[in-house]
């Protein structure tokens, strides 16, 4: 019989499993900034828009930065089991809409989202096969400066975010990768995340996401 020369040796090589990638780390480390830079690479990635009941900050756009909803609507979504994960983060509801992730994974695209560290712990429990990346600052001074320069915090909310970081660092063990977001070296952090995605697709035993 003629050998089928073009036939792939492994099914997986022709149909890679989509990844669920979770980017987490302390507030102000640069998660959103890194994701914005990653978007510009035009990779086949679905960037999840999470939901919140906090009001938009100046410049934030509904459906782009968050799905902005009322507290009542958020609580309806929780009751209707529409959230994969949700938490009260610094006093506001934040949550990951289940349907959005399911649709994106079904289309074969890798899915990436950012959550705080408690959210990453919850997603690890719900979906052990997710790829968890901890974004870290190079040092405390750079990180602190970033939070202050952003001008988004009152002295009280700044203090809350700083206090949270010691607790968050105790979760480092649960992550698969750590990427350092060095001051003014944003593209280097993005390169490393792209490399993680590439290497994850080379696994002999791909991660299989079931939600």
Give me the residues that bind ligand ATP (CB under 6 A), please: 27-33, 146, 149-150, 181-186
* Residue 25 marked in a binding site: yes
* Residue 96: both structure tokens together: 């990951």
H/E run at residue 89: strand 83-89
Which residues is 22 bridged to in the sheet? 113, 132
Place of tokens 């988004």: 152
Give long-range contacts, CB 8 A cutoff, 24+ apart: 7-16. 12/206, 15/108, 16/201, 16/206
Place of tokens 């560290």: 117
From ligand LQESDW3C, ligand ATP, none, interface partner of 100 (C-beta below 5 to 8 A by class): none
* Residue 32 marked in a binding site: yes
From ligand ATP, ligand LQESDW3C, none, interface partner of 141 (C-beta below 5 to 8 A by class): none
* Residue 152 marked in a binding site: no
Residue 18's nearest CA partner among 126, 108, 133, 98 is 108
Least distance CB 62 / ligand LQESDW3C (angstroms): 13
Residue 100's nearest CA partner among 81, 87, 84, 120 is 84
Task: Return d(Cα 36, Cα 85) in angstroms, integer.
Answer: 22
Q: Which is nearer to ligand LQESDW3C, 18 or 28 (CB)?
A: 28
Residues near ligand LQESDW3C, by CB under 6 A: 27, 31, 50, 54, 85, 87, 89-90, 94-96, 114-116, 118-119
* Distinct helix (H) and strand (E) counts, the chain: 8, 9
From ligand LQESDW3C, ligand ATP, none, interface partner of 18 (C-beta below 5 to 8 A by class): none
* Residue 8 marked in a binding site: no
* Residue 27 marked in a binding site: yes
Q: Which is nearer to ligand ATP, 100 or 181 (CB)?
A: 181
Closest residue to ligand LQESDW3C in the complex (CB): 119
Binding-site positions: 25-32
Binding-site positions for ATP: 25-32
């Amino acid at each position: 019989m003629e050998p089928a020369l073009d036939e792939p040796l492994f099914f997986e090589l022709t149909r890679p499993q989509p990844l669920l990638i979770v980017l987490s780390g302390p507030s102000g480390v640069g998660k959103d900034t890194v994701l914005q830079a990653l978007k510009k690479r035009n990779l086949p990635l679905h960037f999840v828009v999470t939901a919140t009941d906090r009001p938009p900050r100046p410049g934030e756009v509904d459906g782009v930065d968050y799905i902005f909803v009322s507290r009542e609507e958020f609580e309806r979504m929780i009751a209707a089991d529409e959230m994969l994960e949700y938490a009260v983060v610094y006093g506001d509801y934040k949550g990951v809409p289940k349907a959005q992730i399911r649709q994106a994974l079904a289309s074969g695209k890798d899915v990436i989202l950012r959550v705080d560290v408690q959210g990453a712990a919850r997603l690890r429990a719900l979906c052990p096969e997710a790829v968890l990346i901890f974004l870290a600052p190079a040092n405390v001074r750079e990180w602190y400066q970033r939070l202050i320069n952003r001008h988004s915090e009152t002295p009280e909310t700044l203090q809350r975010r700083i206090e949270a970081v010691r607790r968050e660092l105790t979760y480092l063990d649960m992550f698969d990768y750590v990427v350092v977001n060095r001051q003014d070296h944003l593209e280097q952090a993005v390169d490393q995340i792209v490399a993680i995605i590439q290497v994850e697709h080379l696994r002999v035993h791909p991660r299989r996401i079931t939600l």
